[in-house]
């Protein structure tokens, strides 16, 4: 079987039932393996068997359901704007006509017969012009056996409209006491439904505005510097790795690259959350989408447009907004069985009032009211709109939530496990001392230059500062994660690493090197021993600073009853020194990556575990932990493994991530409460259970108002996340 994953932008969905309907229809098609449609992100992710199904057929079937597929994200935005403008126009027309109907109905401006026919004409415009979208979507929903809220609206308002029309044109069919007309009620219901749609669309667009801002950050053009130093303006997405690009003051950086000439103040706030512009000079790296606020620079392109940090963030954000958390899947299931249940309740209500009690007027009012008040759009909106707001707020804070499922788990975290180098410390490691003779530096530089580890970079930097270049070919190299490097050069074996690596290779520290090693071990942040053959030649003493916000983060975690743990490959003395400074009681030192993974698994037997790291060797632990957090400064592999990426590299964002998750789940639960509360209280009220006791009967008009406000409530509640203090 040859499979293909397809990502499509879909416009025209008005609520979560639309996305459910598309999924349900496509899942029945032979050749469709997996379908996931997000109403909130206007997006569908599909997996097809290419031998049985095609992308064209997929698009054709989606459009057959009444929605549009937009290949271009900008076109999708334009379509969404058009949809929003159309709903706004229909709402204001409907509102104007509904008010006019009320003025006619409750005044003596016109003769009674003229007034009745005028109301009929105005109500017909509202019903079949302003309310046409509900008929259209309800018809398609019924064909596809997906009984969504549009079916309820169409049924409810049609019942009121056609009953009133029959009374108007064929009054002799009804006894005197049943000749009532509900044109005003049907018109008001459609008006409020459109108001709900208008407010939803408006709020939804605001909830996802950060993603739109990010997309708009991507520069369209670039000043390509040609070989003869002339400038050609080309599309930014056509830039290739190695191209030189001139970036003037006020222009956005068109690609991820490195400055090769000039310097400038770069505003990175939209990518990293850094509030002040950063001064960047030659050899500093710059990111696509950031703004050159002062200066002229020439950069060399390091990544193509599809691979830039900005494009990766946008892709991850879109993906995160498309995902569901377990509680939302529960809500969707309820919403799907809700409509048929409500239709049955409406029929029973009519039969009880009409046949059992014998009151056909109340039978009509109550059964229509049940249909109208029960629309499950608030239920469907409750979680997706909260997730969109949460992911959007996180991104604004420099917190990229890749996997929204962790929003539900973070409240149960008991252990927060930290890697040391680059996570709790700055990772800006320097060699402070060495007892190794200078004649060995060149070979050591050759070997360490083959590793990307911060310690290797520090040693290479130290060697290069001795005016020695480190670009010689090494015969054989083996990098041992968590320990060091073994290499063969000119038929000699070199081992560079921690004490355990040397012990594993039966090498002991020679007496002439032991004194330096033991003294430095107590005051440095670590040592790298070096041996040739079976003899040590000395060691490098290393220094690394603890991050400014590390202590505050550890204290805050303790206040949240979360136990901080230090998990590092460094020796016990260095690990204990860092742990003491940060007031961390539980420490695992001298552990290799596979042992880190085992520690995480062991801790998970007790409770949920969060792991915060940045290196390639942390990736298995990040993936295994219930919540994996990685820093943007870390490796691409660790970023792929993480549930959350801290774009701003600030440790305090760990606390913000926890607070954001807790607030998000609180909002989701509040939303579900309000959505259920409206329906649980509204349906019996609409069915007329209070009438025998208090004479209270909910008219279809007020049922429509209540239903619309249930959607507005959950949307406005979700938008609180945008201003919540984290």
Fill in the DSSP letter of residue 274: -
| Token pair belonging to 37 | 């449609």
Q: Is 636 a catalytic residue?
A: no
70 within 8 A of 9, measured Cβ to Cβ: yes
Listing from the earlier edge strand, what are the strands of the sheet with 563-567?
A: 399-401, 644-646, 627-631, 608-613, 413-418, 563-567, 586-588
Distance between CA atoms of residues 524 and 257, nearest Å:
35
Q: What is the dihedral of CA 9, 12, 15, 19, to 10 degrees?
A: -50
Of 687, 681, 677, nearest in space to 714 by CA: 677
Give the end-to-end CA distance of the chain in Å, rounded to a whole number: 48
Contacts of 722 (CB under 8 A, 6+ apart): 206, 207, 389, 392, 393
Q: Which of 287, 255, 250, 256 is nearest to 272 (CA)?
A: 287
Catalytic site residue from 419, 570, 618, 626: 419
7: number of Cβ within 10 Å: 12
H, E, C per residue of 275-322: CCCEEECCCCEECCCCEEEEEEEEEEECCCHHHCHHHHHHHHHHHHHH
Using CA atoms, how far apart are residues 353 and 362, in angstroms rounded to an integer?
6
* Contact assessment for residue 375 and residue 392, using Cβ atoms and an 8 Å cutoff: no
385 contacts 207 by C-beta, under 8 angstroms: yes
Q: Which residues are catalytic?
A: 419
């Amino acid at each position: 079987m040859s499979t293909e994953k397809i990502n499509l932008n879909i416009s025209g969905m008005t609520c979560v039932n639309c996305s459910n309907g598309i999924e349900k229809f496509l899942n029945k098609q032979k050749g469709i393996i997996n379908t996931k449609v997000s109403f909130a992100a206007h997006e569908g992710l599909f997996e097809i068997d290419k031998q049985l199904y095609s992308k064209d057929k997929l698009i054709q079937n989606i459009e057959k359901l009444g929605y549009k597929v937009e290949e271009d994200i900008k076109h999708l935005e334009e379509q969404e704007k058009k949809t929003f403008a159309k709903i706004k126009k229909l709402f204001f027309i409907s509102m104007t006509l509904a008010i006019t109907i009320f003025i006619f109905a409750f005044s003596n401006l016109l003769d009674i017969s003229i007034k009745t026919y005028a109301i009929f004409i105005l109500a017909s415009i509202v019903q079949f012009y302003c309310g046409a979208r509900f008929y259209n979507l309800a018809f398609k929903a019924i064909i596809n056996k997906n009984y969504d809220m549009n079916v309820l609206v169409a049924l409810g308002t049609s019942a009121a409209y056609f009953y009133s029309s029959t009374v108007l044109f064929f009054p002799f069919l009804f006894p005197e006491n049943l000749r009532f007309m509900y044109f005003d009620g049907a018109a008001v219901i459609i008006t409020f439904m459109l108001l709900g749609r208008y407010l939803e669309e408006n709020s939804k667009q605001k909830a996802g505005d950060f993603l739109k801002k990010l997309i708009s950050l991507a520069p369209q053009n670039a000043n390509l510097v040609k070989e003869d130093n002339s400038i050609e303006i080309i599309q930014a997405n056509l830039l290739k790795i190695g191209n030189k690009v001139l970036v003037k003051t006020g222009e956005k950086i068109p690609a991820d690259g490195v400055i090769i000439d000039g310097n400038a103040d770069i505003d990175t706030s939209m990518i990293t959350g850094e509030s002040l512009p950063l001064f960047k000079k030659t050899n500093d790296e710059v990111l696509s989408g950031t703004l050159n606020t002062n200066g002229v620079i020439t950069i060399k392109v390091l990544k193509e447009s599809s691979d830039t940090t900005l494009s990766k963030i946008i892709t991850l954000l879109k993906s995160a907004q498309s995902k569901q958390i377990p509680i939302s899947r529960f809500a969707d299931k309820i919403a799907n069985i809700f409509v048929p249940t409500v239709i049955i309740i409406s029929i029973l209500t009519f039969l009880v009032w009409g046949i059992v009690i014998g009151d056909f007027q109340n039978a009509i009012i109550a059964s229509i009211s049940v249909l109208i008040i029960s629309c499950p759009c608030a239920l469907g909106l409750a979680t997706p709109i909260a997730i969109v707001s949460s992911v959007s707020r996180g991104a604004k804070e420099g917190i990229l939530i890749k996997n929204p499922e962790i929003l539900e788990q973070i409240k149960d975290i008991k252990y927060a496990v930290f890697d040391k180098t680059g996570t709790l410390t700055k990772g800006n490691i320097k060699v402070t001392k060495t007892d190794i003779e200078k004649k060995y530096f060149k070979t050591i530089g050759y070997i360490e230059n083959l590793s990307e580890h911060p310690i290797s970079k520090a040693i290479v930097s130290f060697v290069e500062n001795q005016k020695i270049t480190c670009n010689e070919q090494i015969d054989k190299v083996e990098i041992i994660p968590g320990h060091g490097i073994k290499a063969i050069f000119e038929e000699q074996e070199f081992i560079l690493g921690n004490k355990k690596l040397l012990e594993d290779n039966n090498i002991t520290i020679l007496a002439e090197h032991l004194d330096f090693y033991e003294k430095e071990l107590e005051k440095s942040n670590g040592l790298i021993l070096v041996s040739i053959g079976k003899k040590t030649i000395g060691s490098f003493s290393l220094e690394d600073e603890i991050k400014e916000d590390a202590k505050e983060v550890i204290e805050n975690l303790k206040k949240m009853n979360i136990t901080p743990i230090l998990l590092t490959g460094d020796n016990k003395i260095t690990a204990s020194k860092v742990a003491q400074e940060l007031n961390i009681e539980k420490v695992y030192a001298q552990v290799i990556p596979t042992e880190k993974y085992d520690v995480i698994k062991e801790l998970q037997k007790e409770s949920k575990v969060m792991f915060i790291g940045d290196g390639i060797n942390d990736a298995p632990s990040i993936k295994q932990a219930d919540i994996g957090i990685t820093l943007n400064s870390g490796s691409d592999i660790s970023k792929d493994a993480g549930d959350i990426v801290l774009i701003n590299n600030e440790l305090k964002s760990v606390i913000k991530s926890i607070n954001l998750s807790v607030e998000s789940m609180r909002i989701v639960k509040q939303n579900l409460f309000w959505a259920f509360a409206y329906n649980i209280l509204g349906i019996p009220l609409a069915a007329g259970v209070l009438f025998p006791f208090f004479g209270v009967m909910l008219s279809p008009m007020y049922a429509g108002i209540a239903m619309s406000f249930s959607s507005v409530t959950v949307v406005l509640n979700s938008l609180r996340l945008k201003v919540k203090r984290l």
